[in-house]
Each structure stands twice: as C-alpha cells, then as structure tokens.
Amino acid sequence: MKIHFIGIGGIGVSALAQYYLAMGHKVSGSDLVSSEITKALKKKGAKLLIGKHETKNLPNDADLVIYSLAIPQKNPEIQKAKRLRVKIQSYPEALGELTKKYFTIAISGTHGKSTTTALISLILIKAGFNPTVVIGTKLKEFGDSNFRMGKSPKGKPLVSHGARKYLVIEADEWQASFLNYWPKIIVLTNIEREHLDYFKNLNYILKTYKEYILRLPKDGILIVNKDGQNIKKLLTKIYTIYPLSNALLKYPPLFPTVVKNVVYYSLKQKGSKKLKKVLKIPGEHNVSNALAALAVARALKIPDKISFKALSEYRGSWRRFEITKTLYPKPCTLISDYAHHPTEIKVTLKAAREKFPRKKIWVVFQPHQYQRTHYLFDDFVKVFREALKQTEDGPLIDRLVITKIFDVAGREEKKIKRKVSSEKLIKAINKSWAIYIPEVEEVAEYLKKNLKGKEVVIIMGAGNIYKLCDLF
C-alpha cells in the first residue's frame, strides 16, 4: 500500500509513518521545514518533499492520505486527494484504526503524557510484553525515536501472537483527538484548562473527557490520579463501581454503571517515597507519573520487582528536563524542557530548584501560540512572578528571558494576535531580571556575554527554542 502523509514532520504523524514503514508499506510525505525527525524518516525509507505544500507532492497512485490536524482542509494536497477520491484520514482517525487491532493502553491528561507513556512502555518491554509504542517525544531506548515496533522473535512486526498484542499511545486531547481511540486501559494524569481556542472552558473539557472514558469496554480499566481536583469533578459525572484499588469511592451514583474497573494512584499512597528514591528524574510530578505507570503494571500483573527496575533505569527523554553540559563560553548546565503551560512551568522550576539548590538558575521561555498566551495570560504572569519573588531562601529562579511568541501556522486568530505579546507579558510580570529578547540568536549572544559560569540555564517551550542549545 502507498501512503502519503501531509505534515509528516509532526511528532505524532511521524510515529505513524514509521509504523507503516515497519509494516512494509511505501511511505511518502510533505512538510514545510526539515527537522531531525524528517531526516530520520528519510533514512528509514520514506520519500519526503520539504518546502511548499503542492499538488505535485501527492503521488497519483496513493492508496491512503493521512494529514496532521494542523493542516487546513484547503491544503492543495488534501484537495487533490479528494479529486482523486483517495481515502483520507486525519492522524487521530488513522491511529484510531490501529487501536481497534491492539490491546491499547492510552495515556491522557493535560500534563505528563510523554513521560508516563515512556515509563509504561519501558516496564512492558522489560516484562516481555513487547509493545508497539507511539509517543510524543524521542526516547534513547528507542534509538532516539518517537516510535517502537513490537517485534516477533524472528524480528518481524508483531501483529499477532499467542498472547495479546499491545499498543501504548500518547492520547492527545487537542481537538478531542482521543475520541477516535478505543483503548482497553485509559490512564488519566490530570485535567486543566488548556487548548481553550478549541474547548472554550473547563466544563467543555470535562464533558469531552467523560465521552472519552465512556469508550472503555466493560472489562476496560480506568487509572486515574486521585490528587487531581478536576479529575474529581469529572468522576462525579460518572458512576463507578468495583474499583480494583482499595480506595473508597466518594462519588454519588449519578448514572448507571459504566466503568467497573477503576484504579487510583496518589502521591500519598504507600510506596511513593520508595519510588522517589529510585527515580533518576526529578520532581514530584514525575513521582506521580511513575505511580501511574506502576498502576498499569500491577493491573497487567507485572511483578513490582520488574517495574521498579525499569523505573530506576529511566533517565529521561528528549526535551523533558533533558540535561546537557556546555563549556562555551563558560561551564554551565543546560536543561531543555518542553513545558509551555503555566502548571508545567511551575513544577519544572520547582524540580530544578530541588535538584540544584545552590545554583543560579536562569530561564529562557518561548511562549507557544498566541491563543494559549492570551487565554492563560494571568496564569503565566502569576507563575513567573512567584518564581522571581525574593524569599528567605532566595528566589526560585534568578533571571528570566522571554522571547517572542512562537506562531503556530494555521492555528492563530488575527484578532488574538493583536491582543497579546511577550512584551505585555514582561510588563505584567514587572520583576527585576525579567527581560524581553525576541530572537533565539539574540538570546544566545546575551547568554554568552552575561553568564559567569556554573549557572543552570533552563531552555523552555514547545516551539523551536530548543535550537538555542545548539548555539553554545
């Protein structure tokens, strides 16, 4: 089969492209810019066209076209596919088809999806479950890839065997993508106000999550973070019974029984302190992610000994508190992190201060998307004000640089772009050592001139700010 991907460089779409390559299909694709991901796809045999989206990019004999949700319907390649009457699917629709063929474990929530997906995958691998994995980051354990194909003992793609075939996916909520999936296990890490350009408010978010959870089969398992306040609000809308965990349910029976098997995990549960000691990745939020992974392992009857060994060996992934060193211009510790939501920023900065209690910590933050910055403006201001606040123990961070907002093509409203800017964000934060430097290259020059040596520099955001690491 010949499959063409539009927006193939996306973190999810590229993983799906690798799946079809591993299955022996011919894969082509297009994207606006080249990246580490597109280069890796080329090495694996994909035929890629980088630059402008054009009708000529789509082969006339394509059997299937899969497009990123970031691609508008007026895209010329989509329009040509319609004229040719080629089957067209969005990325979540295509991934949803796969979830029907596997025992699927879907990790959802506003934060922590990638790390939790990684931890669950590594436990399953160590336990011999041999999962296929689609994840929103690159793992060293997967050869710096965002995809792993489950293989049979003979090295062939694992599409069936005597036991179950497992698929572990990071199930994103943007544009309600996860409503296309049919998992047997859902892990729900947390729920917060996010993607408000689509959801508008928290109630709509909760309603969508409810619809998602109700897709579980009767023997499905729901694993939820008991510490999440909005998760508690969600579960008041769903009558649950017969939990696998010993936690007592406090939720009134508002609906008929729809989810029978519910497992709770919490930072307050027995064993969380032990887990914190064995983890190499810092922060309470990562202890919570590991507890979620442990809950999945126990539901699958994987011995704790195997799970703890896998968790203790995990050293992080691409752009998730990824620590590197630089000797130029002076010895410093660089941390590249994907955090782009106020809550993610807060827990990441707290984790950094816990790991480096006596170091000077500088933060370079690139706001991601005008709409997110607009809708969560007050939350961004609050988290950075608190981080720069002088206390008896000193501030959480010592200097903040904010770049211009990363403009996400095809997802921004002009009226919103006129209302918000990084300059306004800096002005509202109104703290010493908070400055605006628009371009990444300018930030690199500023750091080279002003770093004294031995500082910790956190390079933070979901756009192209990670490229700053390469300028040292």
Could you tell me if 25 and 126 lie in one domain? no
User: 435 pLDDT band (50/70/90 cuts)?
Assistant: very high
Contact 169, 181 (CB under 8 A): yes
> Contact, 205 vs 188, CB < 8 A?
no
Q: pLDDT averaged over the chain?
A: 89
Same domain? 268 vs 182: yes
Q: Which residue spans within 145-291 are E strands per DSSP?
A: 145-148, 166-170, 185-188, 221-225, 261-265
Model confidence at 455, pLDDT cuts 50, 70, 90, reads very high
Give the CATH number, domain containing residue 451.
Answer: 3.90.190.20
Note the pLDDT of residue 255: 35
In a shared domain, residues 30 and 113: no
Please, which residues bridge with residue 310 across strands? none
Task: Clarify whether residues 237 and 328 are in a common domain.
Answer: no
Q: Which of 279, 313, 347 is the last residue of a domain?
A: 313
| 335 and 308 share one domain | no
H helices of 405-460, in order, are 414-417, 422-429, 440-450
Q: Percent of the chain beyond pLDDT 70?
A: 91
Number of domains in the chain: 3
Whichever domain contains 131, its CATH number is 3.40.1190.10
Say if residue 355 is in the same domain as residue 443: yes
Model confidence pLDDT, tens digit, residues 147-196: 999 975 455 554 443 346 999 999 999 889 999 999 999 999 999 988 88
Is the pLDDT score of 438 beyond 80?
yes
Residues 109, 250 within the same domain: yes
Are residue 111 and residue 230 in the same domain, yes or no?
A: yes
Give me the domain span that covers residue 132: 100-313
Evaluate if residue 295 carries a pLDDT over 90.
Answer: yes
Domain boundary among 91, 120, 152: 91
First to last CA, the chain: 44
- Verify that 166 and 123 share a domain, yes or no: yes
For position 67, which CATH number holds?
A: 3.40.50.720
Tell me how far apart the alpha carbons of residues 221 and 259 are, in angstroms, rounded to a whole number: 8
Q: Which of 288, 313, 338 is the last residue of a domain?
A: 313
Considering the domain architecture, whether residues 288 and 410 belong to the same structural domain is answered as no
Q: Residues 207-245: pLDDT tens digits?
A: 999 999 988 998 999 999 999 888 888 877 665 444 444
Q: Does 83 share its domain with 113?
A: no
Whether 260 and 296 map to the same domain: the answer is yes
